[in-house]
Structure 1
Amino acid sequence: MDVPAVKEEDECESMSHHIPHGGGDGTNVEMNTTAEVATTAPASQVMISPDDFAEDLELRLGRANGNVYHRKPGVDGVHDGQIMIRLKKKRFIVIDYGIIPSHEDIRMAACYPQMATPPGCGKQKCVTAECTKIGVPVLLHDSDPNEPASLYMRSGLCFTCQRLLNEKRRTQRKRKSDLNQPVGVVIPAVMAGGTVGAFNISPAVATTAVAANGTYHLQPTLKRFKVNGECVDLPPDAIIINGPIEGTKRHGNGYTFNEIGVDLQNLMHGTTNDIHQLVNDVGSATAINNVPAPAA
C-alpha cells in the first residue's frame, strides 16, 4: 500500500505551507502564504541554504578530490564540528558532527534528498575503540544526492579516524602498485649487433640477511630493466651505457668489416703509443724523485 508515502508527502507539504501562527486573540491560525511561513517557521538545526556556504565553496574548499574545509570547529574528544568535503566528480558534502537533530529536524530532512539524518547521528560514538568522538554526522547538504552515500556517512567513524583510514588505504594501494608494476627511468642503450633498445631501470626489492650476531643488513639487489618489452635482471655491479659514445660508427652500408678492421688497427696503434708515453712519463717522474737533494 502507498499510504505511508502519501502520509510523508503530506507531512512535507504541511511543513512547507501550513505552519501554525499565533493570532492576535491568542488562538492559532493557519497561515498559508510563503512570506509569513518564512517569518514564523521555527529555526531548524539541519536547514542550511546554499547561499550560506557559497563563499566557502568558491574560495576555501578548492577543487581537488579530498579537500576539506572546517566551517565550524569541533570540541576535543567530543565531535569534529561542521565540515565541507570535496568528493569525486566535483561532488561535495556538508556534514556536522555536533548536531543532535530533533524530531522536527528528522521530519524536515526526510523531505529533501540532499539532506539526511541517519540513525545515531549526533549521538553514536566512533567505532574506533579508543575514540570518544561522535561517529555519525548529520548530512546538511549533498551536491549530488543520487550518488551512493559517502563513507563519512556510513562508516561509523569520526571525521579524524576516517581520514586516517583513507590515508592508510591510499598508502597501501600505492605500495602494492609499486611492487606489482615497477616504474623506472627509460633510457636509450646500444644492444649487441648495434640495435638500439629502451631500458626501463627500476629498483628491485631489497633482501635482508641475518648476521651471526643477530643483526640485519641489506644484501646487494639485482638491477631490473625492461628492453623491448622484456624484463631482465642484471648483477648489482653491472654497468649500462646510456647510448652510443659520440662519434661511434654503426655497421652497415659503407662501413663493413674491412673498414672496421682499419679503424681497429688505428685504434690499437694509437692506444699503444699512449701506453708507451705513459710508461716514459712515469719513469721520468720516478727518476726525478730518486735524485738526492743538494746538501744544505
Structure 2
Amino acid sequence: MIDTKVNIAGVEFKNPVIAASGTFGFGREFSEYFPISKLGGLSTKGLTLRQREGNSGVRIHETTGGIMNSIGLQNPGIDAFIEEELPFLNSRDTVIIANVSGNTIEEYVISVEKLNETEIDMIELNISCPNVKEGGISFGIKAEIANNVVAQVRKVCKKPLIVKLSPSAENIVEMAESCVEAGADALSLVNTFPALAIDITKKKAIFDNITAGLSGPCIKPIALRMVYEVSKAVDVPVIGIGGIMDYKDAIEYIMAGAWAVQVGTANFINPKACVEIIEGIEGYMQNEGISTLEEVRGII
C-alpha cells in the first residue's frame, strides 16, 4: 500500500503534484483532457486587484530547453475571478491556491482581504512583481522589502499563506528565512528566471519588454539547488518549481527537500503531464517499496 498524501500548513493534498500558476489558467481548458480532481492542487493564474490586459507583442518564445514568456499578468481581476471562475474550481475536488500579485502593498492586502471571504484553500503570494513605490524594484529582490510585504499581508490573511520566491533574490536562503520570519506558512520556489532573446534579422529584442521569464527543463538544475538550500534552512514546507517534466524530476525535488511540486511548462507540451507525473510517482513508490513520500523527502 502506498500513500501519496502530503499536508502543507494544515491543508491535505491527495498527492504532491500541483498545476503551476500561469500555466493552467483556471483549469477549464485542461478539464477537457482529464478530471482535474486527480491533481493534488491547482495554483490559479496570477490575480491582481484589477483586471489586466497584459503585455503587447510576442508573449511566448521557445528557446533551447525551455520557453520564455512575457504575459504581463493578464487576468480578469480578483472580483471577476471570485464571481466567474471560483465556483467552477470549488466543484473540482482539489486544493485551490489563489496566486496573488500586486504593484503595491495595498494592492496585495486588499486582494487577500477579498479572498479571505471565499472558499479558496490557500493563498500564494507572488513577490516577483515590481514595487512601484520603491522605484520599480521587485518585492522579491531584497529580503527586507519582502519581509515587509509578507508581514503586512500576514496581518490580514485568514488562509494558509505560501510565498513564491524569485530566483533573482540577492540571497535566496536569506530571502526564504525573511519571509518565514514575517509569517509565511510555506514557500514555493522558484519563479521564472529573467532572460533575453534577440531576433538577429529584425535586429531587436524579441519581446517588447526586452527581457522575459525563462522556464522549462533548462532551469531545473539551478532551481533544484535553490530548493535544496532553502529546505535545509527553513522549518516550513517548501514546494519545488522549475523544469519538472516527468515523475523522475518530481522525485528529485522531493529528495532535495520539497513537500510538493508545481508543474508548469510541461503543461504546454503535454496537457496530461500532471496526471502522468502523478501516476509515475505512484509507480516509483510501488517499485521501490516506499509507503509514504516522507521516507525519501530531504534524503540528499
Higher RCO structure (Cα 8 Å, ≥6 apart): 2
**What TM-score, normalized by structure 1, do the two folds share?**
0.21
**What TM-score, normalized by structure 2, do the two folds share?**
0.21
